[in-house]
Amino acid sequence: MDPGRLETWREDLRNAVASAVLDIEDRYGYPPEENVVSEPDTIAAERLAVVRPAIPDDLVKLYAAVGAVDLPDIGNGFFLHRASDVAHAHGARDLWHVRGRHDVDVVVFASDGGGTQYALAAPAGSPVYRLPPDLVLDGIYTSEDPRFDVAAPDLSTFLDRLLQAVKTFAASSTPASF
């Protein structure tokens, strides 16, 4: 993934989020929470890079350009975890393998407000898996839920879909699914 493209994506996402939360209070009757697309945390990004080769290169590049993404008001919420949280969770082996419809080592990097998590195959970096809430025992996620599937063929496509989902929400208040 090209660092310049990631910086452009970050700025495009910021603009889409600003547009999406403009009339939250008018639409829903409450003020928006803090919806943030933050600058990269260089120390945390470097810590994540040290965990390589277990952490996919595209994820390391993403965190070199983007910090966290906290969007509690977009749909039912979307959260790109902080690089330090990804490194800690992966090091602690909180959820490091998926089994059932797919069987692969993963790195969890995002979630939504409904308990679904998103993970990259490790160390390959693709595809991105959608992990709806299910059993996690000793760091192994096990599910036969049909929603447990590939969310995107790669991280770049996943990020493009996130940006499009925010733009769709801004235009229509309709949350797009991943």
* 82, 94, 104, 111 alpha-carbon torsion, rounded to 10°: -40
Report phi then psi at 87, rounded to 5.
Answer: -60, -45
Model confidence pLDDT, tens digit, residues 78-132: 999 999 999 888 888 899 999 998 999 999 999 999 999 999 999 888 999 999 9
Model confidence pLDDT, tens digit, residues 24-82: 888 888 888 999 999 999 888 888 878 767 789 999 999 999 999 999 988 889 999 99
For residue 74, the 8-state DSSP code is: S
Asked whether residue 141 carries a pLDDT value surpassing 80, the answer given is: yes
**pTM given for the model:** 0.93
d(CA 62, CA 71): 17
Q: Which helix (H) or strand (E) holds 91?
A: helix 83-91
Asked whether residue 3 carries a pLDDT value surpassing 90, the answer given is: no
d(CA 85, CA 3): 21
d(CA 151, CA 156): 12
For residue 173, the 8-state DSSP code is: S
Structure token pair of residue 5: 């493209």
